[in-house]
Structure 1
Amino acid sequence: MSTRGVVVEPLRRLGFLTIGLFDGADPRAGHESTLRIIELGERLGFDSAWVRHRHLQYGISSPVAVLAAASQRTSRIDLGTAVIPLGWENPLRLAEDLATVDVLSGGRLNPGVSVGPPGHFAAVRDALYPDTADQEDFGYPRVRRLLDLVRGEPASDFSGTEGFESFSDRVQPHSPGLASRIWYGGGSLGSARWAGETGLNLLTSNVVKAEDSADFDRIQLRLIREFRAHHPDGDKARVSQGLVVIPTDSATPEQRAKYLAYAESRTPRTNSPQGPARMLFARDLVGSSAEIVDRLAANTAFGEVSEVAFALPFTFDHDDYVQILTDIATRLGPALGWRPTT
């Protein structure tokens, strides 16, 4: 396809990402809204639905449990996490949960993970790791442990029968193929390189680390190319881009005003790197599908990928998400060369 003379490869896989907010006094309603949104995504033909992970917040704290529920209310759409911060997790227990949900979903789970100390670690360390906080390794080895366990490497030096019970020396259930669907959420050149060398898939979002540039698109493009340069599959290695995209084609005037105000409130953080880590944010894309197509065509990183998981804004209402997803599936996606899956 082309737009204003710029050739853009057709979009092959279209997904969306939701944070799943809820009212602390009535948490079920928010979780139910998230499940209904995922069901809607399947009906609209989206290829994947992803949920964010939020600890000690009013968002999804247990995405694997939510996706287990979603797996029983859908039959086709891929279900992903973007991302599970492994600093909060025991890789062995997480491997069991992921394999169980993958089996329940019929092989549709796409776990996305990241590394690093838990957020606000000083405040939670006594509750999370009361005896081992100083010994915990929050780096890449935690991902390798998870990968090995999911692949079926031994988790125990004992197997066999004890009394009337049978024991396995590897994680059960074992779900063949799950390891090939694990993604790494990377925002730096080093993490992109490591993910490629490790043979993972790469999730790149609307946040990157400004290491030697303050140009978001340029940085993200380098991440993608660095990842593929070190991946065994080379240019065929899977990368999913996640930008905040808000089409307004069928929005009411009130919705359009809300969306524009939301994006405007977040624009200052896109002007320069933020904080000691120099994190740089992409601008939210708000406008008609035709306008968003033109802006994506000018995005060189978007031109390098064939799958996306567009992020839904944090604080909108359920009806807003219905409108946005419907416009993405019926207008924006087709304009980018995508065709819904039925």
Structure 2
Amino acid sequence: MPLPSEPLRSLGFLTIGLFDEADPAGGHESTLQLVELGERLGFDSAWLRHRHLQFGISSPVAVLAAATQRTRRIELGTAVIPLGWENPLRLAEDLATVDVLSGGRLNPGVSVGPPMHFERVREALYPDTAESEDFGFARVRRLLDLVGGKPASDFRGTEGIEAFSDRVQPYAPGLADRMWYGAGSLGSARQAAENGMNLLVSSVVKAEEGEDFGAVQLSHVRAFRERHPDGARARVSQGLVVIPTDSATPAQRARYWEYARARLPRTAAPQGPARLLFAPDLVGSAQEIAERLHAHPAFREVDEVAFALPFTFGHEDYVQILTDIATVLGPALGWRPATD
């Protein structure tokens, strides 16, 4: 089996945190239990997706605040917060607060662009300013400046008995260095680099340079590092859906293969007007998945991953998948579990 240039250094997982509309507490509790399990298994990081007006986590920062009180070591990330839904100043306050609660473990991932289905939500989201809102990268720049401690106000001092700061409080040293950008295009990878961010390469990319997913993802990694101040040392985390079956029951294996089979046609060619390329789901034994990853051109140039859990499985399925990733697949990739 061909080996990557370096063993896998950081192993994380990503979950959408689905819940039943009639029992939202149950789904959120399941997500928190998975984060706790991830820490016990030695994962380096746990990441939450972001879903608005759906039955998935709409406020990952709030859920991660809860996770900070149930874990001690594992890093906690968002992949990703769509900034079109956010006020950068308020978000900076929330991120800094959760980072302080975590002891410096928060890894916020963000993206830009108009909110999904903007025409359907614009009156609720921006009733007075929809036409003038800027959904470009300037929104990220505002967030980075505020998280980094640049002034948000022209006043610092005391009024009566109240003290006021001119920058976001609490101030979280080091948080600015743990900001990530979720890039699906060459241009966004370059912008992330030019702004000194870390890069989350997506399992969905635009077919700009070709129609081979691995080659396109690799081009994002290389373009990012070419423009980043840290060059080859700039942090990149790869995201793919990975489903090892080593300890799965026959029923689970059948369900996993059917899930991947149903999603496979979308990986054959670019989809829709945006010409989106989707990565195939990797299902099989840990040894089989390791071989496919070692042959993946982008994986061979990274030493961090955040493997995505499938959207629609049950809690017991996620427990099995995470356990196999940590105990079988991770070691096959040269990874060693973290210890307290």
Superposed, 1:7-86 pairs within 5 Å as 7-86=4-83
State the Cα distance separating 1:212 from its structure 2 match. 2.6
* 3-state SS of 2:283 partner: strand
CA contact (8 A) 2:112 2:139 kept: yes
* 3-state SS of 1:220 partner: helix
* 3-state SS of 1:83 partner: strand
- Counterpart residue number, 1:100: 97
- Counterpart residue number, 1:189: 186
Q: Distance in 1 between matches of 2:3 and 2:326?
A: 22
Q: Distance in 2 between matches of 1:145 and 1:110?
A: 17
1:219 aligns with 2:213: no
* 3-state SS of 2:334 partner: coil
Q: CA-to-partner distance for each residue in 1:52-74, whole Å, 9 max, x for gaps?
A: 00000000000000000000000
Q: CA-to-partner distance for each residue in 1:163-199, whole Å, 9 max, x for gaps?
A: 1111001000000100000000001111111111111
* 3-state SS of 2:305 partner: strand
- Counterpart residue number, 1:208: 205
* 3-state SS of 2:325 partner: helix
* 3-state SS of 1:308 partner: strand
State the Cα distance separating 1:9 from its structure 2 match. 2.0
**Count of aligned pairs:** 339
Alpha-carbon spacing, 1:164–1:199, altered in 2? closer, same or farther (3 Å): same
Q: Distance in 2 between matches of 1:286 and 1:321?
A: 14
State the Cα distance separating 1:13 from its structure 2 match. 0.2
CA contact (8 A) 2:80 2:182 kept: yes
- Counterpart residue number, 1:236: 233
* 3-state SS of 1:111 partner: strand
- Counterpart residue number, 2:295: 298
AA matched with 1:51: L
Q: Distance in 2 between matches of 1:152 and 1:290?
A: 46
CA contact (8 A) 1:255 1:320 kept: yes
Q: Distance in 1 between matches of 2:4 and 2:205?
A: 26
Q: Distance in 1 between matches of 2:44 and 2:218?
A: 23
Identity of aligned residues (%): 77
* 3-state SS of 1:81 partner: strand
Q: Distance in 2 between matches of 1:341 and 1:271?
A: 37
- Counterpart residue number, 1:274: 271
* 3-state SS of 1:261 partner: helix
State the Cα distance separating 1:111 from its structure 2 match. 0.1
* 3-state SS of 1:269 partner: helix
Q: Distance in 1 between matches of 2:315 and 2:254?
A: 17
Give the aligned CA root-mean-square deviation in angstroms.
0.6
Match of 2:135 among 120, 135, 138: 138
CA contact (8 A) 1:13 1:47 kept: yes
AA matched with 2:61: V
AA matched with 1:109: L
AA matched with 1:250: S
CA contact (8 A) 2:92 2:147 kept: yes
* 3-state SS of 2:92 partner: helix
AA matched with 1:84: I
* 3-state SS of 2:50 partner: coil
Q: CA-to-partner distance for each residue in 1:241-277, whole Å, 9 max, x for gaps?
A: 0000000000000000000000000001000001111
* 3-state SS of 1:31 partner: helix
Alpha-carbon spacing, 1:276–1:87, altered in 2? closer, same or farther (3 Å): same
Q: Distance in 2 between matches of 1:212 and 1:10?
A: 28
What is the TM-score with the length of structure 2 in the denominator?
A: 0.99
* 3-state SS of 1:82 partner: strand
CA contact (8 A) 2:5 2:301 kept: no
Q: Distance in 2 between matches of 1:93 and 1:107?
A: 19
Match of 2:327 among 322, 326, 330: 330
Q: Distance in 2 between matches of 1:142 and 1:162?
A: 31
State the Cα distance separating 1:96 from its structure 2 match. 0.1
Match of 2:153 among 147, 152, 156: 156
- Counterpart residue number, 1:254: 251
Alpha-carbon spacing, 1:150–1:7, altered in 2? closer, same or farther (3 Å): closer
CA contact (8 A) 1:10 1:338 kept: yes
What is the TM-score with the length of structure 1 in the denominator?
A: 0.98
* 3-state SS of 2:52 partner: coil
State the Cα distance separating 1:7 from its structure 2 match. 4.5
Match of 1:315 among 312, 317, 331: 312
AA matched with 1:120: H
Q: Distance in 1 between matches of 2:114 and 2:3?
A: 42
Q: Distance in 1 between matches of 2:236 and 2:265?
A: 28
